[in-house]
Chains A and B, each alone.
Chain A
Amino acid sequence: MGIRRFIIKILQVILGIIFLYAGLKKVWEGDLFYHTLLSTPYLESQVFAEWGSIGIPVVEILTGLFLLLFTRRMIGVLFSFGLMLLYTAYLVILLFFGDGIPCTCRTVLPFLGWYGHLYFTLSCLVLTLLLLRLRKI
């Protein structure tokens, strides 16, 4: 296996684990994610919380499975890029243009602060871009 293919495989596994972990954790925690969405700045909407609390974990789990198991991995890579872009954009708006910053107690990685989450999503975005570049998109 060439170096390029090896790196592609590693990146897909890393990103797949991240998304699968995030999605499954939201599922195991029950309605905690629903309540988190209800109290999230700029997104406090009953409708968004109801649909988001089901849709976001499903998309994350499917993205993880596409990256790890399914043959059409490019779908997972594209979804990964889209989700990371959305999360990064939301964090930038929240941290640099928001009025107040809520606690990180309900986030996927509560031991990271909000800036830690921003660096984490930026890193994942860079990894996804690298993966897209390696797959020659």
Chain B
Amino acid sequence: MKSKFLIPLLAVIFTTAMSFTTARTAVDPDNDYIFRNGNWHMIPEVSCVSGASDCQVTVNPDGLDYTVYDSQSFGDAKPGTGESEGEVEL
């Protein structure tokens, strides 16, 4: 009787904790970010095509390509084809 209820209850507690810790609350759904000259810059949301590399965008007036991030964190790089998905003005 105890094990019948205990294991599912532990599973619920474990899953609740796991979902809370892995939730990406810092992700901004309306904007993306690039890291340029030691600072984070907000850019409009970029539609990245899924791929094995990082999503890139060309920044004007640099003309250089930068990796697109979903938040101001290097761990949130958006996956892409590795080629520029468009141009943005800063």
Contact = CB atoms under 8 A, between A and B. Distances in A.
Interface stretch (A29-37, A81-89, A119-127): A29-37
A15 to B, nearest CB: 11
Contacts, number: 80
A69 B70 CA distance: 36
Contacts of A29: 23-25, 27
A98 to B, nearest CB: 11
Given A29-B25, A35-B29, A105 B49 contact: no
Tell me if B's interface is mostly helix, strand, loop or mixed: mixed
Interface residues of A, number: 30
Contacts of B9: 69
Contacts of B47: 39, 102
Contacts of A103: 48-50, 55, 78-80
Given A13-B8, A21-B15, A102 B49 contact: yes
Interface of A: 9, 13, 16-17, 20-21, 24-25, 28-32, 34-36, 39, 64-65, 68-69, 100-106, 113-114
Nearest to A111: B79
Contacts of A64: 12, 15
B25 A68 contact: no
Contacts of B14: 17
A17 B11 contact: yes
